Amino acid sequence: MQTTMTSPLTAHPAATSHSTSTHLSIDNVTKCFGSFTALDKITLEIQEGEFICFLGPSGCGKTTLLRTIAGLTRQSTGTLIQRGKDISRLPPQARDFGIVFQSYALFPNLTVFDNVAYGLRNRRINRVGIRSRVTELLALVDLGGSEDKYPAALSGGQQQRVALARALAMEPGLLLLDEPLSALDARVRTHLRSQIKALQARLGVTTIMVTHDQEEALTMADRIVVMNHGVIEQVGTPAEIYHQPASAFVASFIGTMNFLEVTAGTNHRVQLGSTHCDCQPHHYAQGLPIQLAIRPEAVALSRTQSELMGEVTGIEFLGAFQRVALRVQGTGQTLLADVPSRDSTALVLQLGQVLSIHFPADAARLYPAGSSQP
Amino acid sequence: MRAILFSRPTAKLSLEALVRLLMLLAGVALLVIGLLFPLFAMLVKSLQGRSGDFIGLANFVQYFQTPALVNSITNSFRMALTTTVVVVGLAFLCAYGVTRTCMPGKRLFRMLAILPILAPSLLPAISLVYLFGNQGFLRELLMGHSVYGPIGIVIGMSFWIFPHALMLLTTALTHSDARLYEAADVLGTPKWRIFLTITLPGVRYGLISCLFVVFTLAITDFGVPKIIGGQFSVLATDVYRQVVGQQNFQMGAVVSVILLLPAVLSFMVDRWIQRRQVAQLSARAVPWQPTPSPLRDWLFALMCYAVAGVILLVIGTAIYASLLQFWPYNRTFTLQHYTFQGLAGGGWEAWLNSLKLAFSVALVGTLVIFFNAWLIEKSDGYQPLRQGLHLMAMLPMAVPGMVLGLAYIFFFNQAGNPFNWMYGTMAILVLNTLVHFYTVCHLTSVTALKQLDPEFEAVGASLKVPFWTTFRRVTLPVSLPAVLDISVYLFVNAMTTVSAVVFLYNSDTRLASVAVLHLDEAGYFASAAAMAVLIFLTSLGVKLLHAALTHALLNNAQRWRQAG
């Protein structure tokens, strides 16, 4: 296994050195199907060697964007530039990418060997060259020895890895993964997640993965592109996306988020019911109704008295922590708070109990009222 | 501009796009020349006088003023409707027995029930003459009625159309969701209500589709009424009589247009219903399994085998008659009728011609139709062309054979037509037969292609493999069972069809099915029976070969299908 690290598969010196040169720039790409706009003026730069995730609910345009990059869907307007070459009008055959589909699309009548060798045979490489290359690729995805099996004889996870080996066979500069893990069961998925990520890091191949699974995106991506209704909501590292969501949509789509209706106060305060809370400085006009978003794990509860109190209306046991639902006194709004199991004993949680609520000022974010949530 | 065009790195790849476009255009051209132009020529002909001058609807006026001709319309409708009721009723009961009961010997019954398709529709008509004709050994069963006319036509057509209806209804009844039946049982629903509220609604689209298919087949059939119709004329025989008997091509065209109308209408209604049909079966449906119920099972078995018995009786009669010296006076066995003296030695030649036609159509047709379906289903771009090709591929279903054959005369026999050389050759018979049976093959191809992973072509493209390689290495091998089905369908139909080719053969390309017709017309009944039996046996042989080949393929050559 280790020997493959020095094999010709790490063929992109530019990629392995992690230089910051641009691999692909997408400029103002729009795609309309009839009157429906699937992609609306998408602009995005992807760096050499990066692992990018397109994340969003179904119908957000992430798969359309991936297919546009592959040339399988032709954009209505806009340009795509890969390594300095304009590929906007090129058919898929003339573009430099390998792709793994959700269904894997393995050729059922060909053996694993022939599947992986499918593109190589067309390149008129000699037999010995093909054989050694396929062996190398299969070893890379941990499937050495399965050359003569047919796809139907493999498990879902194995088929997925064959598809990956086939996509990598032509040494593409760009690897496209279209929901590659969604057809697998949970355990295999977690395992393959780290395997793909490690492989990508080793080969240094620029990779774009489409997914609707936020956990997948958070664990695998260098940067995440969150999409909704054909536009990019936010581009950022997993930590940025999680901790500083740029919009109410991103905030609600990633993880669990409380949204409270508040009124803007002076520049670093908001009013919840009759209570004034500290928050980060904002620019909303005083008196304007806005939304305050805070993660359940950021909410602190205690048995002391404070300005902001809440009555426990529900307790959910989730193992490492307990999720407590509270009715905020004075507003009637519901708030979720995650209490780590070891703290919950100190609180002696029970229904009907009234606890005091604390928001750390830097953990709460503000969004305009009525902005989109899924 | 040229320099830019050729210096682009995609020069090799736009070759792929070019090939695709040319193939698509070739597919469109095939159906435009083989279907649209001839039909148009026929429409024009129906508006012309004897000397080729435009006379508007005068021919139609004359048609409707001739009672002998107008009568055929009501005759045709009466025959077609009666046949539809008989066939669909019987086929529904049999299909129900096969799919929803535990009757014994289902496989055997299904095999026997398919036999009539392998014979030309002339065969049951000939058998009926032997069974119920003036010398028939069962004529007392008709209680004095003559088999020549409506009775014979309905029985003959029912025999020949039954397998089509049975296949459609078996398919419809096979798809069921056991969960609905369980829910109904748990709620204490009586059996008859379950049938009315679950079974019937579940098959209603299949049933309606079946009604239209049977009606169309019945109203357009030529073989049965030709042999056994006697003085009772229907639209299809009128076309033949006008053209071949009276050389009145204009009136032939008029009758054709009138015959085309019900077929096109029923086709359109069927399409409309199909479009409203949404998939009722979700992927999670659990197939319903019948539980044994001795009384019901044996009742259905009895009925199914009665039907199978009639089928064997009809086919057996034809075989028996072809082997007797001279029915009913000299019942010694002989093979002399298989020398086909009535055709002056042309009998076996006609059979060879049929074989040649059937093999050509099976080979060329399968490849052309499957590849065209692939272009429509699996390639992108040229949306209008692909849609147009699909529409034209659906059209032949609505065009009766008689009409298509006559239309070919008008189009290909025109002076100055660049395809005039085809007239009277084997090529025109191949083209005509291919177009005539295009739709079913097209639908089979589309269904098979839809089952493939939609991304095969995209994967091929991403691996820089040209589309024809992916087609050859993946699409075709994976779809092989469907491709074999298409080829055997084309072979059998090319072997048995009479209606279209009856206008198009010449002395060198006389076909076996046409020979049956001529032998019968000339009074060589035993030889006609012999030729019909010969066609039947040939089709049966090919069908068995196909079954063996499919079996071998699925077991050995396509090992990958069982892997896992």
> Tell me, what's the ipTM?
0.81
- Domains B12-59+342-559 and B75-277+289-333 alike in fold: yes
For A295, what's the count of Cα atoms within 13 Å in the CB-facing half-sphere?
15
Distances from the Cα of B146 to the Cαs of A88, A131, A288, B129, B132, in angstroms? 76, 77, 96, 10, 8
Let me know the angle formed at the C-alpha of B268 by B120 and B225, rounded to the nearest 5 degrees.
30
Which range (B318-332, B348-362, B479-493) has the least confidence?
A: B318-332
What percent of chain A lies above the pLDDT cut of 90? 62
pLDDT band at residue B345 under the 50/70/90 scheme: low
Fold assignment, B12-59+342-559: MetI-like fold (1.10.3720)
Nearest to A258 by CA among A356, A353, A177, A328: A328
User: CB A94 to CB B9 under 8 A?
Assistant: yes
Residue B312 has pLDDT above 60, yes or no: yes
Residues A220 and A142 both lie in one domain: yes
pLDDT tens for each residue of B492-550: 999 999 988 999 998 888 899 999 998 888 888 889 999 999 999 999 999 999 999 88
Q: Does domain B75-277+289-333 fall into CATH 3.40.50.150? A: no
Residue B225, H or E segment: helix B223-228
Domain count, chain A: 2
Residue A7 has pLDDT above 80, yes or no: no
Distance (Å, rounded) from C-alpha B398 to C-alpha B91? 22
- pLDDT mean over A222-229: 95
Asked if A156 has any chain B CB less than 8 Å from its own CB, the reply is no
Residue at A373 is within a domain = no
Residue at A374 is within a domain = no
Burial class (CB in 10 A: 0-12, 13-18, 19+), A221: buried
pLDDT for A8 = 44
- Picking from B9, B14, B455, the nearest residue to A103 by CB comes out as B455
Residues A221 and A164 both lie in one domain: yes
Residue at A345 is within a domain = yes
CA-CA-CA-CA dihedral for A60, A61, A63, A64, to nearest 10 = 160
pLDDT for A374 = 47
Which range (B5-19, B258-272, B382-396) has the least confidence?
A: B5-19
Domain extent, residue A325, equals: 261-368
For A44, what's the count of Cα atoms within 13 Å in the CB-facing half-sphere?
28
Domains of chain B by residue range: 12-59+342-559, 75-277+289-333
User: CB A107 to CB B473 under 8 A?
Assistant: yes
Dmax (CA) for chain B in angstroms is: 87
Residue A179 has pLDDT above 60, yes or no: yes
Residue A31, H or E segment: strand A22-33
User: CB A70 to CB B462 under 8 A?
Assistant: yes
Residue B38 has pLDDT above 90, yes or no: yes
- pLDDT mean over A185-214: 92
Residue A124 has pLDDT above 50, yes or no: yes
pLDDT band at residue B235 under the 50/70/90 scheme: very high
- B-chain residues within 8 Å CB-CB of A119? 462-465
pLDDT for B274 = 75
User: CB B462 to CB A92 under 8 A?
Assistant: yes
Residue at A72 is within a domain = yes
Interface test with A, best of B15, B450, B459 (most A CBs within 10 A): B459
Residue at A298 is within a domain = yes
pLDDT for A16 = 43
Residue at A53 is within a domain = yes
Asked if A153 has any chain B CB less than 8 Å from its own CB, the reply is yes
pLDDT for B424 = 85
Q: Which of A215, A249, A283 finishes a domain? A: A249
Residue at A254 is within a domain = no
Asked if A139 has any chain B CB less than 8 Å from its own CB, the reply is no
Are residues A288 and A327 in contact, defined by beta-carbon separation less than 8 angstroms?
A: no
Q: Which of A249, A274, A305 finishes a domain? A: A249
Distance (Å, rounded) from C-alpha A54 to C-alpha A232? 9
Angle between helices B200-220 and B249-276 (to 10 degrees): 170
What percent of chain A lies above the pLDDT cut of 70? 94
* Burial annotation B515-553 (CB, 10 A radius, 16+ → b, else e): bbbbbbeeebbbbbbbbbbbbbebbbebbeebeeebeee
For residue A171, what is the nearest residue in chain B, using CA coordinates? B463
Interface test with B, best of A93, A160, A162, A210 (most B CBs within 10 A): A93
pLDDT band at residue B10 under the 50/70/90 scheme: very low
Which range (A360-374, B62-76, B139-153, B399-413) has the least confidence?
A: A360-374
Residue B175 has pLDDT above 90, yes or no: no
More confident residue, A174 or B6: A174
Distance (Å, rounded) from C-alpha B317 to C-alpha A116? 59
Radius of gyration of chain B (CA): 25
Mean pLDDT computed over every residue of chain B: 88
For residue B463, what is the nearest residue in chain A, using CA coordinates? A119
Q: Give me the amino acid identity at B54.
A: F
Residue at A70 is within a domain = yes
CATH (domain of A337): 2.40.50.100
pLDDT tens for each residue of A270-319: 888 888 888 888 888 888 999 999 999 999 998 888 888 999 999 998 88
Bridge partner list, B333: B324
